[in-house]
Structure 1
Amino acid sequence: MKWHFSHQLQVEVFRRNFLIRVQLEDFDPGIEIDNLSADNYHIGGISSFVGLVRDMYNDHKLISMTLEHYPKMTEKMLEEIQSEAFKRWSLEGCLIIHRYGQLNPGEKIVMVATASLHRQDSLESCAFLIDWLKTKAPFWKLEHSTECDNGKWVEAKEDDNIATRKWDKIIPNKARDI
């Protein structure tokens, strides 16, 4: 299958809704959540996270941020991250939307949402997704600030690596039920 820069992968299996989009366009979190849960009355809870472009970076005013990616590499990794969430938790649905291109302060960058029968699966898996996306998804951020007109590439933060590693030690609900 050939992927395009902006695509939608949607598969329904046993009432489960898997959705991954990498796109230039903005999105509406309310509409996305409605679509994630549409016609699935088994869902007892949905958790979501929406990441925004901040206006400050290291005490400098941020003018804009440019996100770059290699489509095939990015989509493959997002599918692997989503698949890992389904292995660890009992989910009815999972949504990952990540934007690329030039974004300004206040604009939405990313959204993850998970739907499950019970809140704990939804809450934990949502946190897992955003933690793994921050360190494993191949997006490169070039921040343009008042400090540097040409931009500065953002390095991974140790706090993000620590947040990702904590999931190696956590036994999710699905594993506890076995």
Structure 2
Amino acid sequence: MALPEPDQWLMLDLARDKSDAWALELARRHLGEGAADTLRHALAGYLTQAAETALSNGAMSAAVLAPVGGPPVAFLQVREMRIPVESWQVEALRAEAELIEGPFFREPQTSSVDLPLGPAMRVHRVEPIDPDSDSTGVLEGVAHYVLPSQCPGVAIELVMIWHTPGLGGVLEEMADRIAASALLT
């Protein structure tokens, strides 16, 4: 898959040991030698947490969008899902997505899309970051569930999430471009 603005994406090390040294080194390279230690450690902590989230979700790969000089903006993960061959169709994926209960700030938007990798279902959701608190934080995201033509029984899930108000349209378009560039190798 091709990541737009590749110099702003930080690929997470999902095959690492338990050390956080990889995250500190990635933060140092991304922020530059002149960055304050507190900033470098904050970014490294975010990268470590994002990698742990991706690993707990069974992701094959994951990345964080972090413009140089700015905070992390979005998180992307890709994982493989096994689906019974009899359910291996976009409409079955849509029915499954519609069973997910909120709370959502608005109903999830689902649509069928044709991608180079195969037919897919696209889901756009806006929900509270922590539904059990009084927080007003918003988590927005786009997920593409792709059925690769050459792999019956497999779906590829590409999820991009962000909590940056005002960037929804730009990041939504970026998520669509990333999904359209996904290939199996």
- After TM superposition, the score normalised by the length of structure 2 is 0.30
- After TM superposition, the score normalised by the length of structure 1 is 0.30
